[in-house]
Chain A
Amino acid sequence: MLKSKTFLKKTRAGGVLKIVREHYLRDDIGCGASGCAECCRTQEGPALEPRPRDPESSLCPQPHYLLPDTNVLLHQIDILEDPIIRNVIVLQTVLQEVRNLSAPVYKRIRDVTSDLSKHFYTFTNEHHRDTYVEQEQGENANDRNDRAIRVAAKWYNEHMKKITADDNHPQVIFITNDIKNKEKAIEEGIPAYTCEEYIKSLTANPELVDRLACLSDEGNEIESQKVIFPEHLPLSKLQQGIKSGVYLQGTFRASRENYLEATVWVHGDDEENREIILQGLRNLNRAVHEDIVAVELLPKSQWVAPSSVVLQDEGQNGDDVEDEEEKENTLKTAINEKMLRPSGRVVGIIKRNWRPFCGMLSKSDIKESRRHLFTPADKRIPRIRIETRQASTLEGQRIIVAIDGWPKNSRYPNGHFVKNLGAVGDKETETEVLLLEHDVPHQPFSRAVLSFLPKMPWSITEEDMKNREDLRHLCICSVDPPKCTDIDDALHCRELENGNLEVGVHIADVSHFIRPGNALDQESAKRGTTVYLCEKRIDMVPELLSSNLCSLRSNVDRLAFSCIWEMNHNAEILKTRFTKSAINSKASLTYAEAQMRIDSATMNDDITTSLRGLNKLAKILKRRRIDAGALILSSPEVRFHVDSETHDPIDLQTKELRETNSMVEEFMLLANVSVAKKIHEEFCEHALLRKHPAPPPSNYEVLVKAAKAKNLDFKTDSAKALADSLDRVESPDFPYLNTLFRILATRCMMQAVYFCSGMDNDFHHYGLASPIYTHFTSPIRRYADIIVHRLLAVAIGADSTYPDLTNKHKLADLCKNLNFRHKMAQYAQRASVAFHTQLFFKNKGIVNEEAYVLFVRKNAIVVLIPKYGLEGTVFFEEKDKPKPRLAYNEEMPSLKVEDTEFHVFDKVKVKVTLDSSNLQHQKIRMSLIEPQIPGVSGPTDSTTLNTDEPEKKRSKLEN
């Protein structure tokens, strides 16, 4: 088995160190072709087909295997992922090179390799007796690897000849984009082609050509040879510069509203210059959103202020830079010394963070053109130039495109087509797009994951009852929104003999089913949260668990994790205890049903008395919490009534809040706080907690300014002061004002985040005014709760621990992922609502509605329509219309359009239409109807333009 060994010597920087490593060569590595007599080893896992029926290629009519070079793998992974490409030999040398060069590609190639239908085989050539190559004197590592690859290709071809008797033996074709390597290979008698040659020779599958990444220099003819962008500095210079402080390293964040503006978040603890503004194409210098870049600070004289202009890139295919300069100049108006921010320019890219982007093709004006611009759905991503022959079929479709590169003489980056998702506006396509854009893992659960599910039929066994209390006799019920199938909490309340009350919160025991470390656990941890879209739910755990075994449905035995308090009638906690339990819920109620039971005097059964007791306590708890300074915020939430057949939204309804909603919420909060205390007590270093940082005072500026305009004095120095201020907002003829203030206050808040207690020392939850908080109550839909369950189970001795649970760095990494997933889930949810709102207005046609101004921008106002909970922007500058006089007052803030002035919270009337002129971003367009401004607002239905009228309306409003 162990044939021989050789030594590899290496020296490392900083003192010469001789490293001697053994390297065993083997004679038992198979060629991967199943049924190969020579290798006579039954291959496990993926293997090559003995007779590859490859796509027809005009270059090599014989059956053949492909053997790609590193550069092909790195740049043409999209092609290799295509189901047409099968029977590929991936050499270990190639794989190792890819691993060192690009982690995402490495992961993708591993995924492809594990797919049995693809017939990819990894050949461990470095340890094979016949294919091992030693580095020669004067040969660098790259050349050695190239040679190793050629040697392996040659060995394969000879091997194939040996094992098949007839002449029609399969050939191994070496695919490389390196011309020199190809030439050498042909010299040595290995059939070699470049990737392009091979793909183009596939006569049956011409559409593959589009997926080729264009890396070659050819085809630059359209691009002007004029250099548009300054050259990027090489990495070594950047590192030097960063070390010496000349350059700053940071994450590039493009602006959603203005394609010529971006900010760079500088890494590091330096409080100053945390954020650097970049303006103008040249300063952005080909950086794409999320790239890690090096920036150079500009001298103070060139600093700029963040512009409040909304600008979209609408230019056509051309590379006219002059046009851009003109636009750039528009950014630089209204210079106010105070507003200037540190500005800079990108000097180099440290790490690209390109991923495949969803979007649509903007077909070129020239009919026969093969080069088209692709407009990504995410406005922060620049448009990408791609080459395709199927432009007409791709038009009106959502497609995925990957960026290949961005030469300095090209206005747009170059990319290639990856995948067609489906027609625009199609509900499924759009859902797919928004899931992809928000990076929500939504593939069906893999077989490996499902294999860890309990076998059906399932029932509670003796084993399960170990360390578990039997609470099946208690009168427990659940209260949830209608049609909820993943019920993760249930409650009970009963009077004890000593006159006190026993209150129990029972949470689905998901951690009983999801054991640490297995595939199911890993998948749930990756997903982090269940994502609720308007008509769909992307589960975090497989449905069997989420809607059945873990769901605390009525009249079935379920496992639960219970938190049981003994309280007096003043809702003061006398005793807290946690236990794993088995329960049998007596009823699953909706909020409305529960409310009805509480209110109706005739009902006096156990469940109802239990509910009444809970409700009474909840009210006291809520009062106490608010007195402590908890905030009651508001966000306009709507729910769609969906047609059961077509799944089109037919009506909207704002979510109603009943007493019972807050009753359930109150006990969940209490349980979370109690659990947080317990796990922190037990694991002061490794508790997973949730905090809500207090927002910096500057966040409240908008709110305070708006309040001032309404003659209100707002205190924001503490949560309590803010809550009191919000409570004081009252206006007899403007009842919605209070809600508006609460909505605005919500926007001032920071994001609440998970964190590991050992890595932070600020635990405070600002919004809930609680010194410590965690998530315990929804383990079916949040992974954080599962970890908290495990911690608590260990704390009470009901379950065993595992190493990762008490590793704070692992826990911190987990928190990072969970926070990211939660944020993305939220965005996806919003995007889904926005899409359904569009569908709704598409069916409804044009409507005029009342709205309130939420924000005032330099050339637009942002308004909210309470009826639909819909927010939109009213622009005052349109492309082909004369620009009205705009006067923006930063201090108020207010915007004067012609003679009309807009303030925050002004009431306006807007016309809502669906703007389908841009298929990609179908959007709800809002235009002003009242107050009327000549030349700006659209005519009302009566079409009588009366210039005096708006004045009157305004004066009425300003009471």
Chain B
Amino acid sequence: MAGLELLSDQGYRVDGRRAGELRKIQARMGVFAQADGSAYIEQGNTKALAVVYGPHEMRGSRSRALPDRALVNCQYSMATFSTGERKRRPHGDRKACEMGLQLRQTFEAAILTQLYPRSQIDIYVQVLQADGGNYAACVNAATLAVLDAGIPMRDFVCACSAGFVDGTALADLSHVEEAAGGPQVALALLPASGQLALLEMDARLHEDHLQQVLEAASQAARDVHALLDRVVRQHVREAALLLGD
């Protein structure tokens, strides 16, 4: 049985995209009223919900408070119905912890934490449907949520994944492409400055190809930025209208 052909000779991927094309992205800000900030994003079939509380006083042990900046607390979870087979534990497993740490690193780099010493910012992200690029969707959703909460940031953080198949870098991998087992890079970018907030890869990829994959991922992240920017402006316009301004 022949395996799946990830990239056809004509340059189309399994789902019909070309190598550098993103999946369809739809996003909404301010989906919950109770939270300080919230956002919902769909990247293809990957759907994520992000909620932000804070900045507020330290909860739990006060000793964790940082004297010079705010503590960013991230929690990642996946809904039990998010994957093909039902998940038994929605959060708290190793993968979720790791993802939480990665998110925390990403947002510590982006949020101006020094403005809020000895306080805490909570970011809760839940993946409702997983179809590849979970990290990227979470970061993008969380960015919108943080913006919604009105917490000052250096810049948007836009994330995207990229893979490498037959000498070509593929942007925004779907679950099928991820499952094929090739190398995958997750990259979070501050688009204005071009700085990387996070870069992660846990497969073997030859040095010579790395540049190409990074390029594809950052280009995709810039494309994501353009979309998110549009969503934020749209949201602000709507909010302004509601305020009767």
Contacts and interface: CB of A to CB of B under 8 A. Distances in A.
Contacts of A127: 12, 16
A26 B45 contact: no
Given A99-B5, A100-B1, A5 B24 contact: yes
Interface in A73-132: 92, 96, 99-100, 103, 106, 110, 113-114, 122, 124, 126-127
Interface size class of A (residues with CB under 8 A): 20 to 34
A110 B9 contact: yes
Contact of A17 (B5, B14, B84, B204): B84
B2 A99 contact: yes
Contact of B85 (A17, A24, A25, A113): A17
Interface string B116-137: 0000000000000001000000
A873 B131 CA distance: 68
A103 B16 CA distance: 23
A24 B15 contact: yes
B174 interface: yes
A800 B85 CA distance: 43
Interface residues of B, number: 25
A100 B2 contact: yes
Nearest to B23: A22
B108 interface: no
B120 to A, nearest CB: 37
A22 B85 contact: no
Contact of B206 (A24, A26, A802): A802
Contact of B174 (A2, A22, A114, A124): A22
Contact of B131 (A20, A23, A26): A20
Nearest to A26: B16
B130 to A, nearest CB: 11
Nearest to B44: A22
A99 B24 CA distance: 29
Interface string B73-90: 000000000001100000
Interface in A1-49: 1-2, 5, 15, 17-26
A98 to B, nearest CB: 10
Give the dominant DSSP class at A's interface.
mixed
B61 interface: no
Contacts of B9: 110, 113-114, 122
A23 B85 CA distance: 21
A803 interface: yes
Contact of B15 (A23, A106, A114, A800): A23
A397 B166 CA distance: 42
Contacts of B5: 96, 99
Contacts of A122: 8-10
Interface in B124-181: 131, 174, 176
Nearest to A5: B24
B16 A23 contact: yes
B17 A24 contact: yes
Contacts of B84: 17-19
Kindly name the residue among B1, B16, B84 whose own CB sees the greatest number of chain A CB atoms within 10 A: B16
Contacts of A20: 45, 131
Contacts, number: 59
B177 to A, nearest CB: 11
A805 B136 CA distance: 33
Nearest to B205: A803
Contacts of A19: 84
B231 to A, nearest CB: 17
Interface in B1-44: 1-2, 5, 8-10, 12, 14-17, 21, 23-24, 44
Given A19-B84, A802-B206, A803-B204, A25 B16 contact: yes
Contacts of B23: 22
Interface string A208-241: 0000000000000000000000000000000000
Contacts of A2: 17, 21, 24
Interface string B91-113: 00000000000000000000000
Nearest to A32: B10
A639 to B, nearest CB: 45
Contacts of A18: 84
Interface string B175-205: 0100000000000000000000000000011
A124 B12 contact: yes
Contacts of A23: 15-16
B21 A92 contact: no
Contacts of A800: 207
Interface string A813-824: 000000000000
B45 A22 contact: yes
Output the residue of B2, B23, B131, B174 with the most chain A CB within 10 A.
Answer: B2
Contacts of B85: 15, 17
Q: Which 10 A-B pairs have the closest CB atoms?
A: A127-B16, A24-B16, A22-B15, A17-B84, A22-B44, A99-B2, A803-B204, A124-B10, A124-B12, A2-B24
Given A20-B45, A124-B8, A800-B207, 17 more contacts: A2-B21, A17-B84, A17-B85, A22-B24, A22-B44, A22-B45, A22-B131, A22-B174, A23-B15, A24-B24, A25-B16, A92-B8, A99-B5, A122-B10, A126-B16, A803-B204, A803-B205
9 contacts: A5-B24, A17-B85, A19-B84, A22-B45, A22-B174, A23-B15, A24-B24, A96-B5, A802-B206
Interface of B: 1-2, 5, 8-10, 12, 14-17, 21, 23-24, 44-45, 84-85, 131, 174, 176, 204-207
